[in-house]
Amino acid sequence: MSELLRLEKVTVRFGGLVAVSEVDFHVAEGELVGLIGPNGAGKTTLFNLVTGVYTPTTGRICLGGREVDGLNSSEITGMGVARTFQNIRLFNSLSVLDNVIAAFNLHLESGFFGALWRGAAFRAQEAQIQEEAMALLEIFGLREAAHTPCRSLPYGDQRRLEIVRALATRPKLLLLDEPAAGMNPTEKIELMRLIRFTQERFKLAVLLVEHDMKVVMGICERIAVLEYGRKIAEGTPTEIQKDKRVIAAYLGEEVADA
């Protein structure tokens, strides 16, 4: 399997805070990898680094062997990386369907002048995008809601819509940031099924950040653990469950929470 994403000694600082510290990490084609860690460990920051929202203070990030330093988020998305956001960021004034359609932007054959001229090729393209968007919504059970404003969707559906929107960019690597947050147990089981299904159907690699251990242990082939920005462990779910440092990191948190 060839490698999609590679991080080499990646560090990012915000003022005095080192949010991600010397992280080495990689994801290969078609893998389903989990990324876990206590609150504030740097998981979301790592996503932001990969998608070009932040640039690393030091270290390298490569996509398919090419260094991404200095590229815009949209260019990185064009290289096959899509994501969802932990704090949902849908296009709030748009309908559910339009949220998905907006994400087809990368794959437009006729852009500005096509939209002005509205010729046959343009119309065919619009029809095809619409169809494809609907098909994606269907998979995630959102077809019925296609024409409602996305704001009016229940929370869980908004999270699902984020995934649909990310899929519309036709990624090779999908980054999911706490997709199960706020879902009830039945929804979570359904979500696990959907993630596996889309992974196989679209031949995706998935990097999953999730606090729910049942979800992570249930579907991930490999798991990396962050604590205070450092990668403290990496391995199969069974290895991770036994890892002393991981247990300490999580126990420490539970003690603090109690």
Partner 1 sequence: MGPRFLLLLSIAAVSLVSFLFTGHPQASWPLGQMDDYLLNILILAGINVILAVSLNIVNGHTGQFSLGHAGFMAVGAYGSATLTQINSKACLASLAFLGNAAPLGLFVLSLLAGGVLAALAGLAVGLPSLRLKGDYLAIVTLGFGEIIRVMIQNTEALGGARGLAGIPSQTSLGWTWGVSLLSIYCVGSLVNSTYGRGFLAVRDDEIAAEAMGVNTTRYKVTAFVVGAFFAGLAGALYAHFIGYITPEGFSFLKSVDVVVMVILGGMGSTAGVTVAAIALTFLNEALREAEQYRMVAFALLLIILMITRPQGLLGGLGRWLPGKGGKS
Partner 2 sequence: MNEFLQQLINGLSLGAVYALIALGYTMVYGVLRFINFAHGDVFMVGAFSGMYFGRWLKPFAAAWPEWLFASVVLLGSMLFCAVLGIVIERLAYKPLRERPRLTVLITAIGVSLLLEYAGQLVFGAAPRGFPSLITSTSISGLGGLQASNIQLIVLVVTSLLLLGLHLIVMRSRLGLAMRALSLNPTAARLMGVNTNVVISFTFGLGSALAAAGAVFYASLYQAIDPFMGVLPGMKAFVAAVLGGVGSLPGAMVGGLILGVVETLVVGYSKLLGIPPGYRDAVAFVILILILLFKPSGLFGKTQREKV
Ligand X SMILES: Nc1ncnc2c1ncn2[C@@H]1O[C@H](COP(=O)(O)OP(=O)(O)OP(=O)(O)O)[C@@H](O)[C@H]1O
Rounded CA-CA distance 82/101 in Å is 15
Query: Which region among 47-55, 121-129, 160-168, 218-226 touches partner 2 (by CB under 8 A)?
Result: 47-55
Do strands 173-177 and 81-83 pair parallel, antiparallel, or not at all (unpaired)? parallel
Residues 154 to 193 in contact with partner 2, rule: CB under 8 A: none
Does 62 bind partner 1 (CB under 8 A)? Our answer is no
Q: How far apart are CA 41 and CA 250, in angstroms?
A: 11
Verify binding: residue 14, partner 2, rule CB under 8 A: yes
Site string for ligand X, 41-60 (x = CB under 6 A): xxxxx---------------
How far CA 1 is from CA of 28, 29, 33, 197, 234, in Å, comes to 6, 6, 14, 20, 19
Angle at 77 between CA 103 and CA 153, to 5 degrees: 35
Q: Does 223 bind ligand X (CB under 6 A)?
A: no
Q: Which of 166, 209, 225, 240 binds partner 1 (CB under 8 A)?
A: 166
For residue 17, state whether it binds ligand X (rule: CB under 6 A): yes
Residue 23 has phi, psi (to 5 degrees) of -90, 130
Backbone angles phi and psi of 61, in degrees to 5: -125, 125
| Site for partner 1, residues 83 to 102, rule: CB under 8 A | 83, 85, 89-95, 98, 101-102
User: Least distance to partner 1 from the beta carbon of 39, Å?
Assistant: 21
Nearer to ligand X, 45 or 51 (CB): 45
- Report whether 148 contacts 157 (CB < 8 A): no
Which residues in this chain contact partner 1 in the complex, by CB under 8 A?
Answer: 51-53, 72-75, 77-78, 82-83, 85, 89-95, 98, 101-106, 108, 110-112, 114-116, 118, 122-123, 125-126, 129, 149, 165-166, 168-169
